[in-house]
A and B are shown apart, each in its own frame.
Chain A
């Protein structure tokens, strides 16, 4: 069965600094998609970034970028120039596409002013 593991239950970073959240996954599939979702206290699930496994280039969205290592089955999220509004739970997720999402346990990110 596919699994997603986030080994950091909590992380904190100073405002304007850079932080990296870790995610590893286990699958025997070769074609799949990976996501990072942000869940603020409002509980809304907000898509941060999406990566297709067949693409070697790492996805970026403004201050958010990923380090996708397919052979190592690793998918970390880097947040640059951290802002107070980045404080939230962050979930890593895996899917084959038009199938269920498999989520990690989440990392709670705190931004220190």
Chain B
């Protein structure tokens, strides 16, 4: 099983600032099958990034993903008020276990 560890657990920033979220895998994620999701209270997760760096349909370009192997990063260039939420990384290359990280809560400072 690939274990994903996200850091930090909580990130406190202000609107307009840059956010950098990390996801580290216990072993290499094949073909960069790494995704990022955003989840707001009471809502289902929303796909942001797939293939480590490709934005999903309709996702603003202030969201970007990078990384390969075992280290991945989600960057939000300039935080908007609606970006404060919980973010999860997920690997989907190691069938049949599609594991998620434990989440990073992005809160308003």
Say whether A and B bind each other.
Answer: no
